[in-house]
Amino acid sequence: MAEYITLVSSLPYLPPFEKAERSPITRLRLEQRLHNLEPEDARQLALAEALVSWRLSLAKPKTDQEMLMRCRAALQEITQTALREFVEFRIVQQTILAALRIRQTNSLSESLFLEQVNGANRWVGVIASNWEHPDFKLEAVFPWIPDARGYLEAGDANGLDRLMMKIIWQRLSRITESNRFGFEAVFAFVFKWDILQAWLARDADKATSRFQELIKEVKNGS
């Protein structure tokens, strides 16, 4: 596996997204550095970004079914272990959020949930089997579910975004620690940068509007 000592060393420090006042690097400058990636690493990173980058996958919401179908197809091409595990981690997040949104709209709609995300991952069956439980009996595995449910019930899209961003950020920090000068450190930086950019561009009114769009989307699909 390629090492990217020079590339990683050229990347600036990323402050925690909530404390950042500006981005320390533009996308253009970042792209210039990413040109030093091996072609296959660059291709796999592009596939993953198109699927689970915060700006690309969440700024313009698609149906949960479409998103998960695209993820399953792309995962066949993402063979780099750490990157694949990160994408799968994000798919699980989206699966759980989809279940919470669908149930909030229609508490008896586990069939709709199964229709939209069946086969996405091993947690789908567990969620459907425990549909009436507030946290699908998964709070021990995913302790963030009660907080996410609370934000959804309160209509607090900013709070939900912040929670999900924190979880992803922490995961990416652990990935960086696993190989500080490898591809892991590079793609972790890219996805952290993506979160930071999304946070800096946030707007309370737009976030509330996006939340309402997500709820409307579920209603239209039921």
From residue 18, how far is each of 94, 120, 123, 162 by CA, in Å? 22, 31, 30, 8
Beta bridge partners of 182: 3
Expressed as residue numbers, the domain containing 56 is 24-221
Position 194 in a domain: yes
Position 3 in a domain: no
Position 12 in a domain: no
Position 8 in a domain: no
Write out the chain's pLDDT in tens, 222 residues.
Answer: 578 999 999 999 999 999 888 999 999 999 999 999 999 999 999 999 988 888 765 434 456 566 666 666 777 889 999 999 999 999 889 889 988 988 888 766 777 777 777 666 788 889 988 998 999 999 999 999 999 999 999 999 889 999 999 999 999 999 999 999 999 999 999 999 999 999 998 765 555 565 666 556 555 544
From residue 144, how far is each of 151, 164, 183 by CA, in Å? 11, 9, 28
Q: Is the CB of residue 75 less than 8 Å from the CB of residue 84? A: yes
Position 210 in a domain: yes
Position 13 in a domain: no
How many domains, in total, are found in the chain? 1
pTM: 0.83
Position 10 in a domain: no
Position 149 in a domain: yes
